[in-house]
Amino acid sequence: MSNINSTAVIGVIGAGTMGAGIAQVAAKAGHPVLLYDAFEGAAQRGVEGVAKGLSKLVQRGKMQQSDVDALLSRITVTDSLDGFAPARVVIEVIVERLDIKQSVFAQLEEICTDDTILATNTSSISVTAIGSKLKRPHNLVGMHFFNPAPIMKLVEVISGLDTDKAVADAIYDLSASWGKSPVRAKSTPGFIVNRVARPFYAEGLRVLQEGAADEASIDAIVREAGGFRMGPFELMDLIGHDVNFAVTSSVFAAFFNDQRFLPSLIQQELVSAGHLGRKSGKGFYDYSEQAETPTIKTEAPAPAPRNVTIEGNLGVAEPLVALIEAAGIKVSRIQEGFGAILIGDTTLQLTNGQMTTYRADIARSSNLIQFDLALDYTKATRIALAPADQASPAAVLKAIGLFQAIGKNVTVIDDVAGMVVMRTVAMLANEGYDAVNQQVCSESDVDVAMKGGVNYPFGPIEWAKSVGLERIMNVLDNLAKSYGEDRYRTSPLIRRKVAGAKS
């Protein structure tokens, strides 16, 4: 399979937002582009939409009008599939129905040359299943863009069971030549992004379901401590609960009801009520004009402690020590210990995946308070605390005052295993490692996909390594013990890597 040069004709079937965006990307790279849509006038409207979007870039000084004119001149509308005869690659961006995709590709096989690459932008249908009805299934490959295609860097290159490796390589190289960040994956449910991202929503929903905190406070913790651009609830509202719930349900069913992908009853209720998020005016949040801004639970000012003792090494939370010292609080250290901040009779520890109440009972330390993971403790503007049920109000105030003294807003949540950011990151990493373990993709592709496809601040696998894989494994094991559910089973690959590092 030869490389696809910039003069090769690219065909795009489907002229909606995604299809028109892909046509724009290909045309910008210099390709002649053929655009078709089964609905009369839709392809022309797609071109007009591209032109309108580019004109805004001209107005902002980000493109020259001459470059826009040249780009648009390379897009030609065709009124039938027959027009794709000269195409070197044809990308399908149509309705997510297996039978329709199979029918379109079967027609293209009769129109195009024997070595024309047929690419599907499907986000949920098996590439293998689409190719099963084709004469040349080796020419079919997944080329999954993310919306908006001209902006989002990620392209998942999906190989079905019969996809020729040379075909997948050609599409990978083509995507890279278009300025994208391609990743390779096997045709499995959810591919990389839609599979690995499930815990981001699921763990937030579980924390909400258990009453540990409200939606706005969970979103704030995920943004301000976890470094994500949006929290799970505001993101689900943006995506639309009908869409998000359907994807989760599809992945759950495709994995034969694996509990790791179990849909949420809370989200099902929203869908049943028609509360679909921004597009319906109401989801987890109210988007009507008269709606009040949701209140984030933030603790009132508390006195800062004069001195603290650091017991052992805090691991990923070690940067807190320098912040405490910079706040003028006297710090003494004890080298031995399991990693704790002591304020008199109060003990603060990074969550280990256990409920604080249970951990305190085991340690015989009533005034135990766990704090949540942060992407970067020096930059985080909020921290979550979870006191044990046995902890005194005075102990809780000491913990609040310490974190406020180092410049953090503090949200105290009810005791829940793994808290918010830690359990989310641990489960994202677990799913990423499981995808690698099942030969779906590489470790680096997991991280590239999640940063490029859904704008995560850090790849789940590299994040897990920075926290410490043994700590992540312990968090997962403790979550599994707390819930007694297969949902939290630790990936065998994580266990293997932890054991290998020890030996």
Nearby residues of 253 by Cβ (< 8 Å), 6 or more positions away: none
Distance CA 428, CA 431 (A): 5
194 is annotated as an active-site residue: yes
Q: Where are the beta strands (DSSP E) in 127-212?
A: 140-145, 154-159, 181-186
The position carrying tokens 């190289």 is 173
Among residues 121, 123, 187, 217, which one is catalytic? 123
| Residues 373, 226 contacting (CB under 8 angstroms) | yes
Cα within 13 Å of Cα(141), Cβ side: 28
Distance CA 391, CA 264 (A): 32
**Four-point Cα dihedral 145, 147, 150, 151, nearest 10:** -110
| Residues 404, 411 contacting (CB under 8 angstroms) | no
275 is annotated as an active-site residue: no
Token couple for 157: 């290159």
Q: Exposure pattern of 242-281 as b/e (b: 16+ CB <10 Å)? A: bebbebbbbbbebeeeeebbbbbebbeebbeeebbbeebe
| Residues 267, 233 contacting (CB under 8 angstroms) | no
Distance CA 102, CA 132 (A): 8
Among residues 92, 156, 203, 224, which one is catalytic? 156
156 is annotated as an active-site residue: yes
Strand partners, 77: 35
Cα within 13 Å of Cα(401), Cβ side: 16
Considering just the CA atoms, what is the radius of gyration of the chain in Å? 26
Among residues 194, 217, 430, 478, which one is catalytic? 194
* Residues forming the active site: 123, 144, 156, 194
